[in-house]
């Protein structure tokens, strides 16, 4: 008789899959590139709209990358995506890094970007932005994050690849706490990253004042 309590032997296998991303090209030639990562249960469309709120963003080519793990939001017909779960986390990180590297390569070749590259992320997309920035074959000019913390596996040597970072946190954000915010500032400064901060009168959200702070940073790059 089969023992139904026996969990079985777990295996993993690599398999091809397809991701999707949206691009809003700049009106100018050889524009810098800003690549964004959405939060949990969001889509590339939502991230692209978020990036479009940054002042003077038309001088940048902007791209929003969608997480590979798609699902229906709240048992309805509306699609959403995420970047990973606890299961097979290390494999998911490697898959996501390769996915983003290929995406940036295709965008750079298709839209003739200038070589100036910035990554940005909101909430769950923050970790993806950091992983992309610290593994990119193209040197990054900076990183912009809001509502999420630095991934634990990135050490000082990884973070040294980031010249400048803008970190945003809402004062009523119960997930990205003040303690995490302070810890991230210390970790980045220990890696000689130039850290800018934006403390927002907000909860877990990207606000208009944060978009203004993003615009100020991008104008310097």
pLDDT at 2: 61
pLDDT band of residue 3 (cuts 50, 70, 90) is: low
Q: What is the pLDDT of residues 28-83, one digit of tens each?
A: 889 999 999 999 999 999 999 999 999 999 999 999 999 999 988 877 788 899 99
pTM equals 0.94
Within 8 A by CB and 6+ apart from 172, the residues are: 202, 203
With tokens 């990562």, the residue in question is 37
Q: What is the CATH number of domain 21-219?
A: 3.40.50.1820
Domains of the chain by residue range: 21-219
Name which of 180, 214, 220 is nearest 198 in CA terms. Answer: 214
pLDDT band of residue 7 (cuts 50, 70, 90) is: confident
**CA angle (143, 137, 82) in 5-degree steps:** 55
pLDDT at 64: 98
pLDDT at 1: 54
pLDDT band of residue 144 (cuts 50, 70, 90) is: very high
The secondary structure of residue 28, as a DSSP letter, is S
pLDDT at 192: 98
CA 85 to each of CA 119, 157, 197: distance values in angstroms, whole numbers, following the listed order: 22, 26, 28
CA 4 to each of CA 1, 16, 79: distance values in angstroms, whole numbers, following the listed order: 9, 32, 34
Strands 61-65 and 69-72: unpaired
Averaged pLDDT of the chain: 95
Whether the predicted pLDDT of 112 surpasses 90: no
Q: Is 22 left (phi over 0), alpha (psi -120 to 50) or beta?
A: beta
The secondary structure of residue 42, as a DSSP letter, is B
SS3 168: strand
pLDDT-above-90 percentage for the chain:
86
* Two structure tokens written together for 35: 């690549």
Whether the predicted pLDDT of 109 surpasses 60: yes
pLDDT at 27: 87
SS3 155: coil
Q: What is the pLDDT of residues 161-205, one digit of tens each?
A: 999 999 999 999 999 999 999 999 999 999 999 999 999 999 999
């Amino acid at each position: 008789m089969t023992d139904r309590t026996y969990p079985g032997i777990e295996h993993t296998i690599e398999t091809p899959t397809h991701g999707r991303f949206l691009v809003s090209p700049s009106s100018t030639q050889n524009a810098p590139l800003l690549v964004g990562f959405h939060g949990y249960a969001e889509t590339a469309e939502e991230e692209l709209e978020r990036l479009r709120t940054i002042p003077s963003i038309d001088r940048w080519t902007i791209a929003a990358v969608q997480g590979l793990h798609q699902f229906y939001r709240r048992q309805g017909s509306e699609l959403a995506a995420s970047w990973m779960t606890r299961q097979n986390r290390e494999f998911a990180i490697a898959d996501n890094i390769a996915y983003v590297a290929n995406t940036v390569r295709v965008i750079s070749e298709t839209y003739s970007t200038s070589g100036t590259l910035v990554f940005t992320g909101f909430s769950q997309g923050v970790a993806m932005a950091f992983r992309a920035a610290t593994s990119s074959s193209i040197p990054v000019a900076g990183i912009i994050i809001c509502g999420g913390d630095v991934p634990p596996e990135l050490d000082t040597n990884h973070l040294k690849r980031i010249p400048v970072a803008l970190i945003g946190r809402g004062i009523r954000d119960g997930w990205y706490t003040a303690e995490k915010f302070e810890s991230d500032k210390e970790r980045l400064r220990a890696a000689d990253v130039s850290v800018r901060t934006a403390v927002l009168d907000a909860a877990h959200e990207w606000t208009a004042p944060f978009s203004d702070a993003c615009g100020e940073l991008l104008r310097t790059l």
